[in-house]
């Protein structure tokens, strides 16, 4: 099969399309024939060598939407749901340090990372869900907010931020969206009660979900005794004024992903695709991501 990988670090030109053996699922795994796979900033980090991996093949791609192609022995989820060949699914594949990722024609994924795909959208849109929506919902879990409390989401028009706005609003949290002025109408359509394009008052919100990675700047906007959650593991700012600070490290979770897919079908979550590329065009997609200003996700179609 064909897959996009990096073996030497660099810019978009470092992405290579290689021929490799078809992976076989082991016990508790399924193989998915990839219909679509999203390009995320973490892939650019892998390509540039941010996460290490010098001297080995590094796979690209964490998100996948496609069809179950094969199951390994005892290929059931812990919940007891068995996946069958032909099932249309989405999954988060934790790709850090792996020789192959979802930017390939096939990918093997742990069964408990898989969920039924949303039925109201195509595979290209469904592929944008797993990594960013799971990051958002797991970050909200860390915040432990109750209805009526206030939350500032930085980078609210981005992929993680937009999901966070929608999910928090659904929970009854009063959301202030921090984004560019040109994105005000969009983030308000997601459920943001308030909008800011610049600094907000110091100590003015119960919590911050810092999808824009503003760190200490955003921390100053949390009230004394509030909570701050970042999106880069082990990189949260030090606590001050009794503010609890932490960062989300996204985990594959098929059951939670199934809930998110259900929210897509209910119209709660909006999926955004900026553009599509063939697998052979992966370097071109990386170049577009590097230009910045992408609204929605770039998606590869093998």
Angstrom distances, CA of residue 159 to CA of 1, 112, 173, 243, 254: 30, 24, 19, 26, 20
Confidence at residue 139, expressed as pLDDT on a 0 to 100 scale: 98
* Strands 297-301, 29-39: pairing kind: antiparallel
Mean of the pLDDT values across residues 172-198? 96
Residue with tokens 């990594």: 131
DSSP-based three-state secondary structure for 137? helix
Mean of the pLDDT values across residues 227-231? 97
Q: Which superfamily, per CATH, for 132-247?
A: NAD(P)-binding Rossmann-like Domain (3.40.50.720)
Q: For 195-205, b where at least 16 C-beta lie within 10 A, e where not — what string?
A: bbeeebeeebb
Domain spans of the chain, in order of start: 2-129+271-301, 132-247
The length of the chain in residues reads 302
Rounded to an integer, what distance in angstroms lies between the CA atom of residue 260 and that of residue 174? 20
Q: In this predicted structure, which of 68-77, 85-94, 257-266 has the lowest mean pLDDT?
A: 68-77
Is the pLDDT reported for residue 293 higher than 90? no
Confidence at residue 81, expressed as pLDDT on a 0 to 100 scale: 60
Confidence at residue 111, expressed as pLDDT on a 0 to 100 scale: 96
**CATH topology match: 2-129+271-301 vs 132-247:** no
The architecture that CATH gives domain 2-129+271-301 is Alpha-Beta Complex (3.90)
């Amino acid at each position: 099969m064909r897959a996009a990988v990096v073996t030497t670090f660099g810019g978009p030109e470092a992405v290579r399309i290689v021929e490799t053996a078809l992976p076989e699922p082991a016990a508790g795994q399924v193989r998915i024939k990839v219909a679509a796979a999203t390009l995320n900033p973490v892939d650019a980090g892998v390509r540039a060598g941010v996460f290490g991996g010098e001297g080995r093949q590094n796979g690209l791609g964490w998100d996948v939407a496609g069809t179950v192609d094969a199951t390994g022995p005892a290929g059931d989820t812990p919940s007891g749901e068995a996946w069958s060949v032909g099932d249309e699914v989405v999954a988060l594949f934790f790709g850090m340090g792996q020789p192959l990722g979802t930017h390939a024609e096939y990918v093997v994924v742990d069964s408990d990372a898989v969920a039924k795909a949303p039925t109201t959208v195509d595979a290209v849109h469904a592929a944008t869900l797993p990594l960013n929506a799971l990051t958002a919902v797991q970050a909200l879990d860390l915040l432990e907010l109750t209805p009526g409390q206030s939350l500032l989401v930085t980078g609210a028009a981005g992929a993680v931020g937009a999901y966070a706005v929608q999910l928090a609003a659904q929970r009854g949290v009063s959301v202030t969206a921090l984004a560019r002025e040109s994105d005000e109408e969009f983030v308000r359509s997601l459920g943001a009660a308030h909008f800011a394009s610049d600094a907000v008052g110091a100590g003015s919100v119960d919590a911050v979900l810092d999808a824009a990675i503003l760190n200490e700047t955003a921390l100053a906007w949390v009230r004394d005794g509030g909570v701050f959650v970042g999106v880069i593991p082990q990189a949260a700012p030090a606590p001050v004024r009794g503010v609890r600070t932490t960062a989300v490290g996204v985990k594959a979770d098929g059951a939670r992903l199934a809930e998110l897919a259900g929210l897509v079908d209910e119209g709660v979550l909006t999926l955004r695709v900026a553009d599509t590329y063939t697998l052979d065009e992966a370097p071109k997609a990386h170049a577009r991501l590097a230009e910045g200003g992408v609204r929605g996700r770039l998606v590869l179609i093998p």
